[in-house]
Amino acid sequence: MQLLRDIERHLNQSDTKPTRFGRDAVRDPRFVHDLRRGREPRPATVERVRSFLQDCGK
């Protein structure tokens, strides 16, 4: 999943914890963990995360 790869890249480059990312991006501290376990986010959530990544200077 491209979204998860982009999130993982951001986490590594920014030294951000997965729970912090989830809280900040979508108000769900388990978001990254759930994606890693196969969760398929809704299209609106994908757009929200993409917007968050773009705002972070990705």
pLDDT tens figures, 10-51 = 999 999 999 999 999 999 999 999 999 999 999 999 999 999
Predicted pLDDT at 57 = 78
Copy the structure tokens of residue 52.
């968050």
55/37 Cα distance (integer angstroms)? 26
Q: Check pLDDT > 80 for residue 54.
A: yes
Q: Whole-model pTM?
A: 0.93
Copy the structure tokens of residue 6.
């982009």
Question: At 52, which amino acid appears?
Answer: F
- Measured N-to-C along each axis, helices 18-26 and 43-55 cross at an angle, to the nearest 10 degrees, of 110
Confidence of residue 53 (pLDDT cuts 50, 70, 90): very high
